[in-house]
Amino acid sequence: MKKFIDYITEEMMAAFEKAGYDKDYGKVTISNRPDLCEYQCNGAMAGAKKYKKAPLMIAEEVVGCLEGSPVFSSAQAVKPGFINLKIQEGLLAAYLHEMQKDDHLSVDLVKEPKTIILDYGGPNVAKPLHVGHLRSAIIGESIKRMGRFLGHKMIGDVHLGDWGLQMGLIITELKERQPDLVYFQEDYEGEYPKEAPFTIGELEEIYPAASARSKEDESYKEKAMAATHQLQQGNRGYRALWNHIMTVSVNDLKKNYEKLNVTFDLWKKESDAQPYIPEMVEYMKREGYAHLDNGALVVDVKEESDTKEIPPCMILKSDGASLYNTTDLATIVERMKLFHPDEIIYVVDKRQELYFTQVFRCARKTKLVEENTGLYFLGFGTMNGKDGKPFKTREGGVMRLERLLAEITDEMYKKIIENRNVKDEDARRTAEIVGLSAIKYGDLSNQASKDYVFDVDRFTSFEGDTGPYILYTIVRIKSILNRFTQDGGSLEEGQIKEAVSESEKALMLELTRFNSVVENAFEEKAPHKICGYIYDLANDFNHFYHETKILSEEKKEQKASWIHLLLLTRDVLETSIDLLGFSAPERM
Ligand code: ARG
C-alpha cells in the first residue's frame, strides 16, 4: 500500500509547483510540535535563498494553493516560514480502513526478494550458552523475521563453534578421568558405544574444569592442543567422542533456543566448512593472492585509505594449521556454493569488527564472492550489569541463559500474582511469556551496537518503555474486545470512521506509520526502531482509552468504529512483537 506520508508529500509538492516553485521543496515531516500541527513542511525556508524571497511569503503563496485540498483540513503559514499541516479526518479514516482490509497490514512485499544468509547465535558446542550469545540470538532472530515479513528469503544459520580447542580440552579431561574408555584404546577397531559417556550436566562441568586447568598447566594445554589436532586429523576414537559431544550439546542448545523463541533454518557448524579448505588454499596460492610471511600463509588486506592498521588475513599458521578465519572464509565458499546468497549478514559481538573487516576484504579480494554479494557485519555491544561490567550472576560467575530465564520468570510470576488471582498453572505460563518479552524488549529497544545495562527491575516493570508494558496494552485491548463480543457485539459490523477527538486522531496517525517503520527498521537492521514505534503506539492507545468510553457508547456506528480501531491497533502491535520475536498472552 502506498505510504500515508506519500499522499501528503505529493499534495505539498503539487502546491509548491502550482505556486511557481521547485516541487522538491514540498518535503513533509512529522511535526515536532504536535500541539500545533500534525505534519510540517520547511520547504519555504529552504527555498528562500534561491528565490530571494522572504520564507513567509513563499509559505503563504503555497498555502494559498492548498485551498480546498482533500488532504489537509488546515494548512497555515507561520513565522518565520513554516507550513503547519493538519490532515483531513476522512482521508485518515479511509487509509486505515484500507490498511485493515490488507492482509499484510499495509506493508508491501519487496519486488525483488533477496536471498540473505543470517549468521547468528554462534554458540560454542559444550560450553553453556551465556549472555553474549543471548544478544546475537535475540537480534538475529528479529532481523530474520523482519526480512521474511518483507518477502526476502532469509536463511538463518546458527554456525556452531565446534572446531576449536574446547573439543581438545574436553577430550583431554575425559582421558585424565577415565583413561580406560574404549575411545582411548589405540588399536581398537570395533564399534563405539551408542550412548555418550557423559550427560550434558557432566559436560558442562568438564569443560570449565579443563579450561581452568589448561591456564595453569602448560603441559596439559599442550596435550589439549595435540588432541584438537588429532581430532581434526581424523583420529577414530576422538571422532566418536566428538560425535557424542555434538549430540548431547546440540540437543541441549535446541531446547534453550526453543525457550527463547529462536529457530534456525540451518544447524551448520565450523567443521562443515573444513572440507572446503584445501581447495580454497590451493586457489589462493595459485592465483597469487596469498603469500608466505614468516612461514605463515597470508593475504594482504590493507587499503590506501585506511586510517588505522589493518593486519593481513592469516590463512594458515606456519605449522599448517587453519584458524578461525580460515573457517569463516571456507564457510563463505560453502555458502556461495550451496545457497548463492545476495547477502550474508553476521550478527556478532562488536569486538570482532576488525576481524570481520579482514575476512570480508579477503573474501572480496580473492573473489570468493561476487562483486555485488553483500557482506555485512552487525556488531552488538555488551550486556552489562548495574555495576557497568559484563552481566554476571550474583556470585560473580558467568550467567547461564537458563538461569537468567528462570530468574526473570520468577520475578514476573511474583508481579503477576500480586496483580490478580489467575489460576496458578496459568500464571506460570503467563510469567514465561511476559518474562521473555522483558528480556527481548529490554535488549532490542537499545541500538544494537551500544552496550546496555540489563536492569531486571526496570525490564520487568509494567510501566514505561518495557516489554511487559506493551503486552499489558495488548491484553487490555483483547479484554475490551472480549467483553464486547460477550455482550453480543459483532466484530464484523461497521468500519473505522473519522476521528472525533485529538487522542483518537493521534492514535490513527500513529497507525499509518507502520509500513514505513517496518521497511526502515529492516533497511537499517534496527529492531530498536520497531520498539520505539510500538512504545509510541501503546502510549497513544492508552491515552485514547483513558479518554474514551468505548463499551458504553450508545451510537452503534461510533462504537463499531472504535472496535475496529482497537482491532487494528491489536493487529499492528501483535505483528510488531512477532517481528521482535515474542508474543502476548490472552490474559495477564
Ligand atoms: N562462536 C563464535 C564466538 O563465540 C561466534 C561465531 C560468529 N560467527 C562467525 N561466522 N564467525 O565468538
Please state, in angstroms and as integers, the Cα–Cα distance from residue 8 to each residue in 28, 265, 452, 534, following that order: 7, 41, 38, 23
Model pLDDT, residue 153:
98
CA 439 from chain centre, in angstroms, equals 13
- How much of the chain is helix, strand and coil, in % rounded to 5? 55, 10, 35
Ligand 1 centre distance from Cα of residue 528 (Å): 23
Q: Of 234, 199, 324, which is closest to residue 242 (Cα–Cα)?
A: 234
Ligand 1 centre distance from Cα of residue 346 (Å): 9
- Residue with the smallest CA separation from ligand 1 atom 10 is 328
Please state, in angstroms and as integers, the Cα–Cα distance from residue 95 to each residue in 100, 136, 547, 562, 568, following that order: 9, 37, 23, 15, 12
Ligand 1 centre distance from Cα of residue 122 (Å): 5
Per-residue pLDDT at 364 exceeds 80: yes
Secondary element (H or E) of residue 578: helix 556-580
Q: Are strands 374-380 and 343-349 parallel, antiparallel or unpaired?
A: parallel
State the chain's mean pLDDT as an integer.
Answer: 95
- Residue with the smallest CA separation from ligand 1 atom 8 is 122
Q: Give me the residue label for grid cell 482491532.
A: 567
Residue whose CB lies within 8 A of the most ligand 1 atoms, among 155, 335, 348, 376, for a mutation test: 348
Ligand 1 centre distance from Cα of residue 385 (Å): 23
- Residue with the smallest CA separation from ligand 1 atom 7 is 122
What pLDDT, in 10s, does the model give residues 504-523? 999 999 999 999 999 999 99
- Residue with the smallest CA separation from ligand 1 atom 11 is 328
Q: Of 78, 59, 80, 74, which is closest to residue 15 (Cα–Cα)?
A: 59
| One-letter identity of residue 6 | D
Ligand 1 centre distance from Cα of residue 352 (Å): 9
Q: Are strands 343-349 and 153-157 parallel, antiparallel or unpaired?
A: unpaired
Ligand 1 centre distance from Cα of residue 161 (Å): 7
Secondary element (H or E) of residue 587: none
- Cα distance between residue 151 and residue 145, in whole Å: 10
Model pLDDT, residue 290:
97
SS3 sequence, 124-143? ECCCCCEHHHHHHHHHHHHH
What are the residues facing 451 on neighbouring strands? none
At residue 372 the predicted structure's pLDDT band, cuts being 50, 70 and 90, is very high
CB 351 within 8 Å of CB 100: no
Model pLDDT, residue 242:
95
Which alpha helices (DSSP H) does 450-497 contain, by range?
456-459, 467-486
Ligand 1 pocket: which residues have CB below 6 Å?
Answer: 119, 122, 124, 159, 161, 328, 346, 348
Per-residue pLDDT at 422 exceeds 80: no
Per-residue pLDDT at 322 exceeds 90: no
Phi/psi of residue 339, nearest 5 degrees: -125, -15
- Cα distance between residue 460 and residue 442, in whole Å: 9
- Cα distance between residue 452 and residue 572, in whole Å: 27
Model pLDDT, residue 204:
85
Cα end-to-end span (Å), the chain = 34
Secondary structure (DSSP) of 84-126: EEEE-HHHHHHHHHHHHHSTTTTPPPPSSPPEEEEE----BTT
Ligand 1 centre distance from Cα of residue 331 (Å): 12
Per-residue pLDDT at 189 exceeds 70: yes
- Residue with the smallest CA separation from ligand 1 atom 2 is 122
Report the atom number in ligand 1 closest to the C-alpha of 124.
Answer: 1
Sequence-distant (≥ 6) Cβ neighbours of residue 89 within 8 angstroms: 73, 498, 499, 505
| One-letter identity of residue 268 | K
What pLDDT, in 10s, does the model give residues 526-576? 999 999 999 999 999 999 999 999 999 999 999 999 999 999 999 999 999
- Residue with the smallest CA separation from ligand 1 atom 3 is 122
Model pLDDT, residue 396:
76
Residue 449 neighbours by CB distance under 10 Å: 12
Residue whose CB lies within 8 A of the most ligand 1 atoms, among 129, 159, 327, for a mutation test: 159
Ligand 1 centre distance from Cα of residue 244 (Å): 22
What pLDDT, in 10s, does the model give residues 104-136? 999 999 999 999 999 999 999 988 777 778 999
What pLDDT, in 10s, does the model give residues 51-92? 999 999 999 999 999 999 999 999 999 999 999 999 999 999
- Residue with the smallest CA separation from ligand 1 atom 12 is 122
**Which has the minimum average pLDDT: 19-28, 108-117, 194-203?**
194-203
Q: Give me the residue label for grid cell 589436532.
A: 229
The CA R_g of the chain, rounded to the nearest whole Å, is 29
Q: Of 270, 336, 264, 251, which is closest to residue 118 (Cα–Cα)?
A: 264
- Residue with the smallest CA separation from ligand 1 atom 5 is 122
Per-residue pLDDT at 392 exceeds 90: no
| One-letter identity of residue 316 | L
Mean pLDDT of 427-441: 95
**Which has the minimum average pLDDT: 232-246, 347-361, 410-424?**
410-424
Q: Is the pTM of this model over 0.75?
A: yes
Report the atom number in ligand 1 closest to the C-alpha of 352.
Answer: 12
CB 110 within 8 Å of CB 151: yes
